Amino acid sequence: MNTAVMQTYARYDVTFEKGEGVYLFDTAGRRYLDFGSGIAVNSVGHCHPHLVAALKKQAETFWHCSNLYHIPDQQRLADRLTANSFADAVFFNNSGNEAVEMMAKIARKYQFENGHPERYRVISIAGAFHGRSLAMLAAGKQEKHLHGFGPQVDGFDQVAFGNLNEMRAAITAETAAILFEPVQGEGGIRPLDVDYVKALRAIADEYGLLLMADEVQTGIGRTGKLFGYQYFGVEPDVMALAKGLGGGFPVGATLATAKVASAMTPGSHGSTFGGNPLAMAVANAVLDIVLADGFLENVMATGKKLHTGMTQLVQKYPTLFKEVRGIGMHLGLRCQDKVVNGTVVVKAMANGLLVVPAGDNVVRLIPPMIITESHVNEAMAIMEKTCEDLLAEGAGG
Ligand SMILES: *Cc1c(COP(=O)(O)O)cnc(C)c1O
């Protein structure tokens, strides 16, 4: 398409003009079942009436107010996030990248304030994705993202997925923190082992490092618990949120324990838009829904039905798929080597279902968390048709 928009995205040939609940409608009026949620963002579906009302009310009150002044809705959201997590303090920003990058800043400042200015390096895990700023490219170390953007920002090391020996060996006198995603999202819905994360906590304690959870994708109920770290029986020191937190309104948050947060003093960090009243109003409305009785139980139960359905699909089409991974409504269908995940995504879209490709040849199913069993059945029917179409075209053979 000929456009003045910078050509950084390989976009699908479709344009949406309206969203309603679990559905998106394109400019031709065609309806799509949205199991991509704008990449885990539309956590409670499109144009949820409660979010629309909150946004409208705030839009008629005031839009922006500098962080030079108190913003009550920030305090309310911070109180609710901390009451429901390990954390004691929250900084609001505008995106996942910012939320994770601030964790790297916190790691340096915390070590600096505690007598270890030499500790500044962050260790991440292969397959990670932490955002696209220069520093977060260095944290993620994905060749395809770094290409042409060298030299890498200093201060980031990476170890093999799930390998504790490598993790221990990578720690030096300069290490400040360990950074992990409870389930790697862009990396292909790869959950970390419970024992592995428990060991990361122990290692961090042993060496005086911060354990930092990137929950930009897994946070706010996506995995069936409010936060992904809650599966591991240990708590991080710092956590980043974004995607699902605003339900479609851009917002990010960096959470920390009181001890860690005390390193961040007035003037040490800031954001013009961070904690904007519109974003706070919508994020509080998202929490109204996600924290309501029974909501997370439904994410778990309906997510399980989707998982079961996908498992049946893998059994029925073994030449197309290898396995289903993930938990809650954060699921990945791993394709066989001869099948390209992008082909499955395009074919599903042609059949009216939106899903999202991820690393490791995975097709992600990350629906709005308001889906019911009937949406699962609808998605399954479309996936079956998609598999038949793929086989008819000789895929997997
Ligand atoms: C999406 C994502 C990011 C980056 O978020 P942006 O809002 O695109 O900057 C960082 N970490 C994880 C785990 C993500 O899924």
Question: What are 92-139's pLDDT values in tens digits?
Answer: 999 999 999 999 999 999 999 999 999 999 999 999 999 999 999 999
What is the dihedral angle through the alpha carbons of 9, 14, 17, 19, rounded to the nearest 10 degrees?
-90
- Check whether the bond before 367 is cis (ω within 30° of 0): no
Q: What is the mean pLDDT of residues 8-20?
A: 96
Task: Identify the burial level of 162 via C-beta atoms within 10 angstroms of its C-beta, where 0-12 means exposed, 13-18 middle and 19 or more buried.
Answer: middle
Give residue for tokens 């009216």.
Answer: 352
Query: How many whole angstroms separate alpha carbon 28 and alpha carbon 14?
Result: 9
200 C-alpha to ligand 1 centroid (Å): 22
> Is the CB of residue 307 below 6 angstroms from any atom belonging to ligand 1?
no
Q: SS3 breakdown of the chain: % helix, strand, coil, rounded to 5? A: 40, 20, 40
In this prediction, residue 397 has a pLDDT band, given cuts at 50, 70 and 90, of confident
- In one-letter notation, the amino acid at residue 29 is G
* Predicted local distance difference test score (pLDDT) of residue 1: 64
| Alpha-carbon distances of 287 from 14, 43, 116, 246, rounded to whole Å | 31, 10, 38, 9
Q: State yes or no: pLDDT of 380 exceeds 90.
A: yes
CA 387 to chain CA centroid, nearest Å: 28
CA 139 to chain CA centroid, nearest Å: 16
Listed in order, strand segments (DSSP E) in the chain are 16-20, 23-26, 31-34, 89-93, 121-125, 156-159, 175-180, 183-184, 190-191, 210-214, 238-241, 252-256, 321-327, 330-335, 353-354, 356-358, 362-365
Share of the chain above pLDDT 90, in %: 99
245 C-alpha to ligand 1 centroid (Å): 12
Taking a C-beta distance cutoff of 8 angstroms, is the pair 349, 26 a contact?
no
Question: Which of 186, 189, 190 for a ligand 1 pocket mutation test, highest count of atoms within 8 Å of Cβ?
Answer: 186
Q: Are strands 330-335 and 362-365 parallel, antiparallel or unpaired?
A: antiparallel
> Is the CB of residue 41 below 6 angstroms from any atom belonging to ligand 1?
no
SS3 category, 24? strand
Taking a C-beta distance cutoff of 8 angstroms, is the pair 244, 218 a contact?
no
Among the CATH numbers 3.90.1150.10, 3.50.50.60, 3.90.950.10, 1.10.760.10, which is that of 16-34+293-392? 3.90.1150.10
User: Would you identify the CATH topology of the domain 50-290?
Assistant: Aspartate Aminotransferase; domain 2 (3.40.640)
In the chain, domain spans: 16-34+293-392, 50-290
> Is the CB of residue 140 below 6 angstroms from any atom belonging to ligand 1?
no
- In one-letter notation, the amino acid at residue 279 is A
394 C-alpha to ligand 1 centroid (Å): 35
Mind giving me the DSSP string for 267-327? TS---SSTT-HHHHHHHHHHHHHHTSTTHHHHHHHHHHHHHHHHHHHHHH-TTTEEEEEEE
15 C-alpha to ligand 1 centroid (Å): 23
Give residue for tokens 């005390």.
Answer: 262
| Alpha-carbon distances of 390 from 248, 319, 344, 360, rounded to whole Å | 32, 11, 8, 20
Question: Which of 37, 97, 180, 330 for a ligand 1 pocket mutation test, highest count of atoms within 8 Å of Cβ?
Answer: 97
> Is the CB of residue 101 below 6 angstroms from any atom belonging to ligand 1?
no
Nearest atom (ligand 1) to Cα of 181: 13
Residue 12 tokens read as 């699908």
> Is the CB of residue 96 below 6 angstroms from any atom belonging to ligand 1?
yes
Query: How many whole angstroms separate alpha carbon 279 and alpha carbon 69?
Result: 16
Nearest atom (ligand 1) to Cα of 217: 15
Nearest CA to ligand 1 atom 7: 96
User: Closest Cα partner for 358 from 166, 212, 181?
Assistant: 181
Q: State yes or no: pLDDT of 36 exceeds 80.
A: yes
Question: What digits encode the pLDDT tens for the residues 271-316?
Answer: 999 999 999 999 999 999 999 999 999 999 999 999 999 999 999 9
Question: Which of 41, 102, 129 for a ligand 1 pocket mutation test, highest count of atoms within 8 Å of Cβ?
Answer: 129
Neighbours of 270 (CB within 10 A): 12
Question: Which of 37, 130, 227 for a ligand 1 pocket mutation test, highest count of atoms within 8 Å of Cβ?
Answer: 130
Nearest atom (ligand 1) to Cα of 97: 9
Query: How many whole angstroms separate alpha carbon 206 and alpha carbon 28?
Result: 59
* Predicted local distance difference test score (pLDDT) of residue 396: 87
Question: What digits encode the pLDDT tens for the residues 221-274?
Answer: 999 999 999 999 999 999 999 999 999 999 999 999 999 999 999 999 999 999
Give residue for tokens 């009785």.
Answer: 293
Nearest atom (ligand 1) to Cα of 95: 7
289 C-alpha to ligand 1 centroid (Å): 23
> Is the CB of residue 109 below 6 angstroms from any atom belonging to ligand 1?
no
Report the chain's mean pLDDT, rounded to a whole number: 98
115 C-alpha to ligand 1 centroid (Å): 31
